[in-house]
Structure 1
Amino acid sequence: MRKTTPCYLKLHNESKPAPAPTISSLPSVEKLCEHFTSALGWQLEYQVGVDEKASPLWQQGITADGSDTNGRLVIRGMQQSRAANDRESLAAVEQLAGSIAEVLSELHRTRRALWKREAELAASVPVTPRQDEREHLAETLQAVLRAGAEAVECQAAAAYLLDDATSHLKLRAAWGEIPWERLLEVGRPLQGSAADLEALVGHAVVIEDTAMLKHWRLPEEEQFASAICVPIASPSAPLGTLWVFSREPRGFDAVASNVVEITAGRVAAELDRWVLLNEGMRSKRMERELTDAVGWQLSRLPTIAPAIDGWQVAGWTSPAVGLNREFHDWSVVPDGTLSLTVGAAHGSLVEAGLTAAMLHTAVKDHGCYRHRPLDMVDRVNQTFWTSSAGDQFADLFYGMLEPESGELEFAVAGRMVAFLLDVNGARRVTHDSLPLGTQPESTYCSQGHNVPPGTALIIFSEGAMKTLEAKSQVLNNGLLMQWLGGCLSAPVEVLLERLVENVR
């Protein structure tokens, strides 16, 4: 009797995914072409793919996302049943057909956007963990392997995943006639595993007789007579291989190969889901911790204005998406002087948030000793220089106001902008200097100004300046008078609200 089952290796290639939806399936497009031909006497057709007919008199592609594979509108010729004097000229018809092609292109883009959006909405369903998620993953993988193996009438299935070095394949899940002790063994070397290597490049490897194809290095060739190996892969990278074993020599047709590939896809989906769960829970923990840190920062900002006759104080720090890199503060020192502080840290999100907390703490600590503004800036600069590796920088405005005389003394490090504003206009009283932590030697200086009744002192941090620069606005006398010129006599809360509305 002649043997009908060949004893050689079979490879099944995975078919390409289905293309995006087109408009060729819309009945209205065909009716549109028919009505166009009937009304104008020129044969209009919607063509998809290459046409072997003669070149058309006119054509225009139906495009979406820059692609030209979505078909085209063509004009073949004149309708023979219409009299020549009853037809529009070709030039006039081409303009109308071109407009129709543009409308169809817009329709195709809309359908394609809807197609993508629906898939994105399907992916937005939240992945939620179960309390027994670890056991649930092991049980699910085993159930998936069992269902796949039984569907193709096999007796065992195993999932081998690549290690971090992509040099070994380790058994991670199994079902059927595979000893549990295999899970304790070290991984198989990928080098020399011909069937696994062939599968990892995207092929389904069918071994119908393991006794005749030993050089393909099956992982369980002693127990089984035939097997099929398919890749386990995520959309971005291969993860490993899935083996399905049979005790008897047999073949695997295209249907069986597709079932095993679907099983491998389900295994990859469960692994990806587990990764997403871990990432999601880690992100939630980080989000909670970040929220607590932001709350801690906000709790350190002043909420009660100092009760000083004849003076009103208010401040605002923009709530950041994450840790704040800027802060404001005020306090009344024992001799009755009002101290004013605005600070801003440099660096990335977390680094700047930690540096801002360090700056705020340093200002409060040094404020416990007798000092002047220049002393404060010098001491904080020394703190930055001695307590960091030279990579922490910050800006600082520190001023002291004598309430009875209105004398203001301040010192600035970095980019802090302060204006004195009254009915006559606004004038800037600060100049940019080196940030804190740039060098150990102090190069800062103090300034003194008088703040008479009816005058407002406004201090802007670098973040506020960058926000205005992003709007192409220059902070000067004209802009401040435009914002605040009509409400200088109003309470300070009104002035602050106007500033926030324009700087936010």
Structure 2
Amino acid sequence: MRTDHAHQLTEKAAHGELAGKAELLGLLASVSQEFVASPVMGETLANATQKILDYMDTEAVSIFLLDASQQHLTCVACAGPVSIEGLTIGATQGIVGRAVASGSVQMVRDTASDTDFSGAVDEITGFRTRSILCAPLTLKSRSLGALEVINKRSGDGLFSDDDKQLLQALAGMVSLAISNAQMTEALVEQERIRRELDLAREIQRSLLPADGDANFPVCGLNYPASEVSGDFYDFFVLPDGHIVWGLGDVSGKGMNAAMLMAKTISLFRCLGKTMPDMAQLLTRLNDEIVETASHGMFVTMVAGVLDPSSGEVRFANAGHQPPLYRDVDGAYREIEAECPPLGILPEVCYVEQTLQLDAGRLFVFTDGVTEGRTADGEMLGLPGLLALLDENAGEPAAIQLSRVASLLNRPGTRLFDDLTMLAVG
């Protein structure tokens, strides 16, 4: 009888152990399904904390994540009688910080006897923390944060080694889920940025003038070094037949430069239709840009107007590199100017200069041309540019510019800087 009774007890214990393992596997499967079902981190972690709280029979559960600087931990999900979501602590603060710093599970059976425990949150919330079990969240040696459970409700109220092993298993699943969610969010953000850059590029291209007739006396080209450009050029015909033209280079790169480029070219096209004096036009542009340009940003620019009937060009320079004039005999002259760029100082008076083309041609370009790299890795430089222009001197201006661009903007290579050129005459 005694043997039968012992056998029954053993079977009952074994059955209970199997039931416990089945329940554990059920929890792990349920939490895993939560992670797979939704790539949205906040929703997924909120559901997971509630499941962990119920299964481990604790009063509270929280998940803390490290910020990008690895200096702070923020609670991103929690379950329990009070919410601490959004709470931020130092990366080494408290039991959570200790778990992250040590990379090991911290089991505190009596918080009153642990010097790292801070009761500040309890004082604010009215919650009483008696015991803590906290596991670090890591993936491939990369620290992500920590998973913390507080106050075991059943039994003697103390966490056990079994609880420790369970929390470690759950922490591994949470770590993987967080990593996957972060990668998903990063991909979504990259796609959003890509779409914004595509839109910005389309807007920028729409602001540049359409290719003119082969015999039109003004032409230009622009090749951005990245998705968006800080360089620009423009030209348009006035009712009296004069052709207003301009070329500029915005300091810096990226979206800020692109936005300032769009503003400058829009103002130029608008104001240039009513202000025939190029010095006054640049002065007005400067006043507008000074008011709104981000700190440290500016625009170098040359703006001019061509009278096709006489070949006279009037232009003004705002801190841009000197335009290059090639006369009919092939001699070159750089036309210097000493006025500051747009957007640096208010109330600047620019100077208008006059040039008679006399069958010659005026070239305006950004530093991406002379500082561009040839196939042998050498900088083109001004001598190289002059040689290229000479080699194609008998060609229309558009061909001359395209030959320069094709030398620098080669298939399979990336420009170091935006490449923009404009020819007049």
Normalised to the residue count of structure 1, the TM-score between the two structures is 0.57
Deviations 1:31-74 (A, max 9, x none): xxxxxxxxxxxxxxxxxxxxxxxxxxxxxxxxxxxxxxxxxxxx
**Any idea what SS the aligned residue of 1:485 has?**
helix
1:457 alignment partner in structure 2: 362
Alignment of 1:230-249 (within 5 A): 230-233=135-138, 237=143, 239-243=145-149, 245=152, 247-248=154-155
Counterpart mapping for 1:353-502 below 5 A: 353-387=258-292, 391-421=296-326, 424-433=329-338, 434-453=340-359, 455-467=360-372, 471-476=378-383, 479-502=384-407
CA, structure 1 residues 503+397, in 2 after alignment: closer, same or farther (shift >3 Å)? Answer: farther
Distance 1:246 1:318, change over 3 A: same
The amino acid that maps onto 2:136 is P
161, 164, 171: which one aligns with 2:63: 161
- For 1:188 and 1:415, how far apart are their aligned partners in 2? 49
Q: Would the aligned equivalents of 1:418 and 1:430 in 2 still touch at CA under 8 Å?
A: yes
Q: Is the 8 A contact 1:423 1:488 kept in 2?
A: no
Counterpart selection for 1:204 from 95, 98, 105: 105
Which amino acid counterpart does residue 199 of structure 1 have in structure 2?
Answer: A
Where does 1:291-330 land on structure 2 (aligned, <5 Å)?
Answer: 291-305=198-212, 311-330=216-235
Q: Which has the higher contact order (CA 8 A, sep 6+)?
A: 2
Compared with structure 1, are the counterparts of its residues 327 and 468 closer, same or farther at alpha carbon in structure 2 (3 Å cutoff)? same
Matched to 1:496, the amino acid is L
Aligned twin of 1:278: 185
Contact 2:283 2:350 in 1 (8 A): yes
Instruction: Note if contact 2:325-2:333 (Cα within 8 Å) is conserved in structure 1.
Output: yes
CA radius of gyration, larger in: 1
Distance in 2 between the 1:424 and 1:452 partners?
Answer: 10
Q: CA deviation at 1:299?
A: 0.4
**Cα deviation, residue 170, structure 1:** 5.9
Given the alignment, which residue of 289, 297, 313 partners 2:196? 289
Residues 63 and 76, structure 2, Cα contact 8 Å, conserved in 1: yes
For residues 396-436 of structure 1, the C-alpha deviation after alignment (integer angstroms, 9 at most, x for no partner) is 11122221222222111112342233674351332253112
Query: Within 1, Cα distance between the matches of 2:36 and 2:392?
Result: 53
In 2, the alpha carbon distance for the partners of 1:467 and 1:288 equals 28
1:54-111 deviations in Å (ceiling 9; x for gaps): xxxxxxxxxxxxxxxxxxxxxxxxxxxxxxxxxxxxxxxxxxxxxxxxxxxxxxxxxx
Shift of 1:262: 3.5
- Distance, in Å, in 2 between the alignment partners of 1:404 and 1:247 is 97
How much does 1:392 deviate?
A: 4.2
* CA-to-aligned-CA distance 1:204-246 (integer Å, 9 cap, x gap): 3446xx5x88746899xx9xx9985423357555623433858
CA distance in 2, matches of 1:189, 1:370: 59
Distance 1:380 1:189 in 2: 49
Q: Secondary structure at the match of 1:383?
A: helix
Identity rate, percent: 21
TM-score (norm 2): 0.66
Listed as ranges, the gaps of 5+ residues in structure 1 are 1-126, 175-179
CA contact (8 A) 2:133 2:159 kept: no
Amino acid at match of 1:493: A
Residue 444 of structure 1 aligns with an amino acid whose one-letter code is Y
RMSD across aligned C-alpha pairs, in angstroms? 4.5
2-structure distance, mates of 1:452, 1:420: 11
| 1:243–1:500 Cα change, 3 Å | same
1:148-198, Cα deviation, whole Å (9 max, x unpaired): x97xxx655964234999999969356xxxxx54558997999xx976565
Gaps of 5+ in 2: 1-34, 410-425
1:159·1:240 contact (CA, 8 Å) conserved in 2?
no
Which amino acid letter does the alignment assign opposite residue 288 of structure 1? R
